[in-house]
Amino acid sequence: MVAVKETVDQVKEIEVDQYKYGFVTDIEMDMAPKGLNEEIIGFISARKNEPEWMLEWRLDAYRRWLTMTEPNWAKVGYPPIDFQDLYYYAAPKSGKQGPKSLDEVDPELLRTYEKLGIPLNEQAVLAGVEGAKIAVDAIFDSVSVVTTFKEELARAGVIFCPLSEALQDHPELVRKYLGTVVPISDNYYSALNTAVFSEGSFVYIPPGVRCPMELSTYFRINEAQTGQFERTLIIADKGSYVSYLEGCTAPMRDENQLHAAVVELIALEDAEIKYSTVQNWYPGDAEGKGGIYNFVTKRGDCRGRNSKISWTQVETGSAITWKYPSCILRGDNSSGEFYSIAISNGMQQIDSGTKMIHLGKNTTSRIISKGISAGKSSNAYRGLVSAHRKASGARNFTQCDSLLIGDQCSAHTIPYIEAKNSSAVFEHEATTSKISDDQLFYCLQRGIGEEEAVALIVNGFCKEVLQQLPMEFAVEAQKLVGISLEGSVG
Amino acid sequence: MLVIKNLHVEVDGEPILRGLNLEVGTGEVHAIMGPNGSGKSTLSYILSGKEDYDITQGTVTYKGENLFDMSIDERAAAGIFLAFQYPIEIPGVAAMTFLKTALNAQRKMRGEEELSTPAFMKLIKEKTKALNIRPEMLRRSINVGFSGGEKKRFEILQMALLEPSLCILDETDSGLDIDALQVVAEGVNRLRSPERSMIVITHYQRLLNHIIPDKVHVLSHGRIVRSGGKELALELEENGYAEYEKPEVNAA
């Protein structure tokens, strides 16, 4: 089929420049020596001015990590990572540590975020942009650069700050919850993260409070050969609500960079956490050189009755994505949701999905996963839905759909269903389709260009998930979907 | 408007059109009738630019230009519209969104200003009313769950909206009952104008009772073997296509 060769040619031409966030910020950095050992961990902890128990926790994790072996069951392939060949701490040298106002931030950094379209200037946000305000915590390599709207949030009792700051100002809160959803020995990468994490966001919503604005953290990896290990902890106390957005980009480099994050969410009784991610890490070039390894552990604990956690993600970047945002449905009547669009193009590899663990009574979960593969990529959905012996009345609905574009890509679905309670009702539907030539022809015949037609059809395919995103993200996500599929039509 | 000279088309090495000649003047409505396998749909696909066909000989001139130099969407913007026999479903894409995207894509290609949403909504209201289409239908995904009649009416709505110069109606009457047929035919007739040409491809004469053609052609074994006025259609209804399928007729 002539189209196949054309697709391949077009994919090969996916200009590396199409990733428009690939620039590097030239700025003086304060870095730890290369490599990983107890001294480096001490260095990181000291730089952060952490309490003693924190350093001990890190060292414990590091020692545990040394005894673990790297897992290799995922449907992804990559050359071995030399963990000693990385910098584990890199921070912009300018400015002091701790909370800053915008005019204390290096202008070069501000320019970076402006280029990325991240609203750091509160006045600009209030003045210009229609729609809700968004508080932003901007994290550059290993440190938070600035957090906006903190006063306003504080008035509502909401704590939103970098984790390092929370360890100074609210150590008891952090100690109570950190590591309770993802314990040290959970897996190889979370253990590593626990040892070397440098920054992340901390959110605490007090009882009964509906967070007055969207909270957002924007992660930017800049320095070469650094691993990014961020740690985020979000606690929604009884009856509270928060919507949180996570965005990420990175420069284009020839070497791969490791991003091993851990996100822990805790929802107490009657509370709700909505966590959205638009991930656009550098995916590597058309030959598969470079790109971020995105190995992430994200887990939500619906601790209280009637609590609710929902994960919404649009994953378009990364050379390799390996993540399963999950929900532990502990509280009775709790519910978990997972909405995902995972797009792979070029030589990307994705092994992603979710785990819904039903423990309490009458718990519900909902999974809508849309995988789109193009180019020579590989896209696997791996999901686990399980009901504990005592989880009576557990209900799940899963829909995983795959869309293939072109003839060189692949899509896989690997569902695990474990129902140990006889009253559990689990539904699973899966479809695999191609964008049919007839559909494309129909659009073309009406005057719609090829790339616009693919974007139209793919957005239709992803509609259900896009509708879950907060409005500001939804528009950006739609455009991102279109861009990440440029040149993929076959 | 359209001049087809000695067109030969193959699919996978099989000849389908074998020296087709046709001239359609501006403002004229031509009917093309023929038995199954004569190449009627192939003709409509060739004109709209579908791939998978090998043009081995012949030329097609559209508004004085070589049609084969134009891509599918370029032809659309230049005013060619194909009303499909089996309109395809596109799940998740709302009909309304599709219409706006198409109209503005064509306007952009022609260097015209794109329509704003309010202007577009006004236009849609006007066009749907005439075709008896409820606005709610346009919130649904394209053709998903549409009845046969609804699908065909949606095709005509697109035609009314995009205002093409050359409309190719590929067996528009297939799958329609009498009432649906009348609504569709009325919609088509409303679009007749001295600036617009139409090629109505059909099996059956009955559509031509409602859409009265200026000329009728018989397509058999990939060529036009007879042309005449509207009475020819009645003759075909009476006698069928057998006469035209005879080998002598197709030898030349």
ipTM: 0.93
pLDDT at B93 over 70: yes
Is residue A114 predicted with pLDDT exceeding 90?
Answer: no
Which candidate from B50, B105, B162 shows the least CB-CB separation from A441?
Answer: B50
B61, containing H or E segment: strand B54-62
The pLDDT of A181-192, averaged and rounded, is 90
Instruction: Decide if A16 contacts A291 (C-beta within 8 A).
Output: no
Across the interface, of A443, A452, A460, the residue whose CB is closest to B91 is A460
pLDDT of residue B214 exceeding 50: yes
| Each residue's pLDDT tens digit, A199-255 | 888 999 999 999 988 888 877 766 666 778 889 999 999 999 999 988 766 666 666
pTM (two decimals)? 0.79
Residues in chain A within 8 Å Cβ distance of B48 = 445
Contact B91, B101 (CB under 8 A): no
Nearest by CB to A460, which of B77, B93, B162?
B93
Is B88 within 8 Å of A447 when comparing Cβ atoms?
Answer: no
pLDDT tens, residue by residue, A308-348? 999 999 888 788 889 999 999 999 999 999 999 998 888 88
**Chain B interface test: which of A434, A440, A446, A458 (most B C-beta within 10 Å):** A446
Contact (Cβ atoms closer than 8 angstroms) between residue A412 and residue A378? yes
pLDDT of residue A14: 41
Which residue out of A5, A372, A433, A441 would a mutagenesis test of the B interface target, given it has the greatest number of B Cβ atoms within 10 Å? Answer: A441
Lowest pLDDT segment from A467-481, B194-208, B230-244: A467-481
pLDDT given for residue A355 in this prediction: 95
Mean pLDDT, chain A, rounded, equals: 82
* Closest residue in chain B to residue A438, using alpha carbons only: B88
Residue A477: predicted pLDDT:
78
Task: Using the predicted structure, report yes or no on whether residue A368 has a pLDDT greater than 60.
Answer: yes
Residue A98 has what pLDDT?
Answer: 46
A10 pLDDT band (50/70/90 cuts)?
Answer: very low
Q: Token pair of A358, please?
A: 């039903």
3.30.70.260, 3.30.1490.20, 3.40.50.300, 1.10.3720.10: CATH of B2-251: 3.40.50.300
Q: Which residue of A has its CA nearest to B161?
A: A446
| Residues of chain A contacting residue B91, judged by C-beta atoms under 8 Å apart | 460-461
Number of Cβ pairs closer than 8 Å across A and B? 74
Residues of chain A that touch chain B, judged by Cβ-Cβ distance less than 8 Å: 2-3, 436-439, 441-450, 452, 456-457, 459-464
* Nearest residue of chain A to residue B107 (CA atoms): A447
Contact B73 A449 (CB under 8 A): yes
Render the burial of A204-213: b for 16+ CB within 10 Å, e for the rest.
bbbeebebbb
User: Which residues touch B147 (CB under 8 Å, ≥6 apart)?
Assistant: none
Which of B12, B50, B67, B72 to mutate to test binding with chain A, by most A CBs within 10 Å of its CB?
A: B72
DSSP percent split of chain A into helix, strand, coil, nearest 5: 25, 35, 40
Q: What is the pLDDT at residue A127?
A: 41
For residue A489, the chain B residues in CB contact (below 8 A) are none
| From B27-41, B177-191, B238-252, the region with the lowest mean pLDDT | B238-252
Mean pLDDT for all residues in chain B: 89
Residue B16 predicted with pLDDT over 80 = yes
Split at pLDDT 50, 70, 90, the class of A489 is low
Distance between A471 CA and the closest CA of chain B, angstroms: 18
Task: Answer yes or no: are the C-beta atoms of A266 and A309 closer than 8 Å.
Answer: no
- Is residue A215 within 8 Å of residue A273, measured between CB atoms? no
Q: Over the stretch A258-315, which tens digit does the pLDDT of each residue have?
A: 888 999 999 999 999 999 988 877 677 767 777 788 899 999 999 999 999 999 998 8
Residue B155 has pLDDT above 80, yes or no: yes
Instruction: Report the residue of chain A nearest B95, measured CA to CA.
Output: A460
Q: How many CB atoms lie within 10 A of CB A410?
A: 15
Q: Could you give the percent of chain A with pLDDT greater than 70?
A: 79
Residues with Cβ < 8 Å from A128, sequence gap 6 or more?
none
Quote the pLDDT of residue A5: 44
Residue B49 has pLDDT above 60, yes or no: yes
Please, which residues bridge with residue B29 across strands? B198
Are A390 and A473 contacting, i.e. CB atoms less than 8 angstroms apart? no
Determine which of A445, A448, A465, A478 to mutate to test the interface with B (most B C-beta atoms within 10 Å): A445
CB-CB neighbors (< 8 A) of A460 in chain B: 90-93, 141
Per-residue pLDDT at A112 = 65
Whether residue A490 is predicted with pLDDT greater than 60 in this model: the reply is no
CB atoms within 10 A of CB A465: 22
Residue contact B90–A442, C-beta within 8 A: yes
Higher pLDDT, A22 or A131: A22
For a pLDDT cut of 90, what percent of chain A falls above it?
A: 39
The domain limits of chain A are 2-91+159-484
Would you say residue B201 has pLDDT above 90?
Answer: yes
Contact between chains at A461 and B92 (C-beta distance less than 8 A): yes
Tell me how far apart the alpha carbons of residues A47 and B170 are, in angstroms, rounded to a whole number: 74
State the pLDDT at residue A258.
Answer: 84
* Amino acid letter, A18: Q
Contacts of A436 in chain B (CB under 8 A): 88
Do the beta carbons of residue A142 and residue A90 sit within 8 Å? yes
Within 8 A of B162 by CB-CB distance, chain A residues are: 446-447
Please report, for residues A50, A162, A231, A233, the alpha-carbon distance to residue A169 in angstroms, rounded to integers and kept in the order given.
Answer: 11, 11, 17, 15
pLDDT in tens, A64-101: 999 998 888 888 888 788 888 777 877 766 544 444 55
Looking at the predicted structure, is the pLDDT value of residue A405 above 90? no
Cα distance between the two ends of chain A:
10
Question: Hey, of B41, B73, B143, B144, which one would you mutate to test binding to chain A, going by the most A CBs within 10 A of its CB?
Answer: B73
Q: Do B84 and A446 touch (CB under 8 A)?
A: no
- Beta carbons of B90 and A447 less than 8 Å apart: no
Contact B202, B33 (CB under 8 A): yes
